[in-house]
Amino acid sequence: MSVTSYVFGVAAALLTLFVVIEMLRRRQLRERHAIWWLIAGFLALLIGLFPVILEWAASVVGIDTPTNLVFFISIAILVLVCIQHSAELTTLESKTRALAEDAALHDLRLRKLEALAGVGTERGDS
Amino acid sequence: MSERLKRTLIVMPAFNEEEVVGDVVREVLRTLPGVHCLVVNDGSSDSTTAVARAAGATVAELPYNLGVGGAMRLGFRYAIEQGFDNVVQLDSDGQHDPRSVPALLDALDRADLVIGARFAGEGDYEVRGPRKWAMRFLAATLSRTAGTTLTDTTSGFKAMGPRTVSLFAQHYPAEYLGDTIEALVIAARAGCTVTQIPVSMRPRAGGKPSHNPFKAAAYLGRAFLALGFALIRPPASLRQEAASV
Ligand SMILES: Nc1nc2c(ncn2[C@@H]2O[C@H](COP(=O)(O)OP(=O)(O)O)[C@@H](O)[C@H]2O)c(=O)[nH]1
Ligand SMILES: [Mg+2]
């Protein structure tokens, strides 16, 4: 491995970690969503600094080309994160659905109250 | 009869139905004296709300389109809030004849959920090709789940008794086709008894149908998917009524 690729690997991992931590700091990312990216960043940094870990891990699981292990783990993490996001989306959809129903029910109650109080507005009749 | 009508809420899901919804509401209120009619405008971009309100219906407006399932759950929640015992789902396009409602309600004496079946002898409503085969298969499977013979499981014309209303106020699915297929599975597995009575179907009084024949193939696939998932999901129970929605 050349010095350039060594430096490149470490720099890429550091950049990723920096971006994630900075977004966390500015509250643009919540911890529970950032955890996977943090794990991935630390793994990348670890392997960037000590490539022997990768070679050792690859030989343990019987993979001849160590980079294949990198691809495998990267893709596995991406797939899991995508599934987690889909699940999250489903939860959000059912919550917004309940809120939409609540809003409509409240609007009905409000109309009834306004009618009783005789202060009917033209709201919503556009 | 009119005692029963007073305790019944007619829920009409409506999506861009300004052409017909007014006439349908007036017909419902004329045919079924004493009944309360809730039109759920599901984010329409036309004047459905104003037309239905002018015709004498209570109109709930969803802020954006949720689909028939979302609109109906709102209806069930409203029914519980206002103390109605029964809910009848009736399309706002004029295809469902309000004169069939008393028969549906009478059948609630012996069941918790009554389906107005379109092919059970009355009227001349017919579908052909893949949609027909799909409906046959769905009917056979759902009949087994419900423990009774059902011939039309995708009918939107249904009457729900108190047990089903409280179940559906929580568990009515918003999924595509969830308002028909999955709703039946949920009800049957929660221990509600299901039955059907024949109703006649009229042609749409105006406006546009939401599905066209070209979507038949997609309909078939999604119907099977919906059924499959409905059957493998954990059943909802009637007991957890106090739980949060
Ligand atoms: N709430 C709601 N209702 C809808 C939607 N699309 C159609 N509907 C209503 O569902 C009913 C049946 O629709 P229709 O297009 O006639 O379907 P079909 O009778 O099954 O062919 C009508 O009352 C429509 O207004 C929707 O996206 N949301
Ligand atoms: Mg129709």
Q: What is the DSSP string of A68-96?
A: HHHHHHHHHHHHHHHHHHHHHHHHHHHHH
Query: Does residue B124 belong to the interface with chain A, where contact is any CB pair within 8 Å?
Result: no
Phi-psi region of B112 (alpha: psi -120 to 50; beta: other; left: phi over 0): alpha
| Cβ–Cβ gap A97/B63 under 8 Å | no
Domain that holds residue B22: 2-244
**Residue among B29, B49, B31 nearest B39 (CA):** B49
Sequential pLDDT tens for chain B (245 residues)? 578 899 999 999 999 999 999 999 999 999 999 999 999 999 999 999 999 999 999 999 999 999 999 999 999 999 999 999 999 999 999 999 999 999 999 999 999 999 999 865 554 556 666 667 777 888 899 999 999 999 888 889 999 999 999 999 999 988 777 788 889 999 999 999 999 999 988 877 677 666 566 666 777 777 888 888 888 888 888 765 444 44
Q: How far is CA B138 from CA B86, B91, B168, B225, in A?
A: 26, 21, 21, 11
Tokens 């309940």 — which residue?
A: A98
The model's pTM is: 0.84
CATH number of the domain residue B96 falls in: 3.90.550.10
ipTM of this complex > 0.90? no
Q: What is the pLDDT of residue B242?
A: 45
Q: Which residues of A fall within a CB distance of 8 Å from B70? A: 97, 100-101
Q: Are B86 and B8 in contact (CB under 8 A)?
A: yes
Query: Does residue B45 belong to the interface with chain A, where contact is any CB pair within 8 Å?
Result: no
**Residue among B234, B67, B236 nearest B156 (CA):** B67
Count up the domains in chain B and report the number: 1
| Cβ–Cβ gap B62/A108 under 8 Å | no
Q: What is the pLDDT of residue B119?
A: 66
Query: Does residue A124 belong to the interface with chain B, where contact is any CB pair within 8 Å?
Result: yes
Q: How far is CA A114 from CA B57, B89, B159, B201, in A?
A: 17, 28, 31, 39
Q: What is the pLDDT of residue B192?
A: 94
Does ligand 1 lie within 6 Å of residue B13's CB atom?
yes
Residue spans per domain, chain A: 1-49, 67-117
Q: Which residue of B has its CA nearest to A95?
A: B245
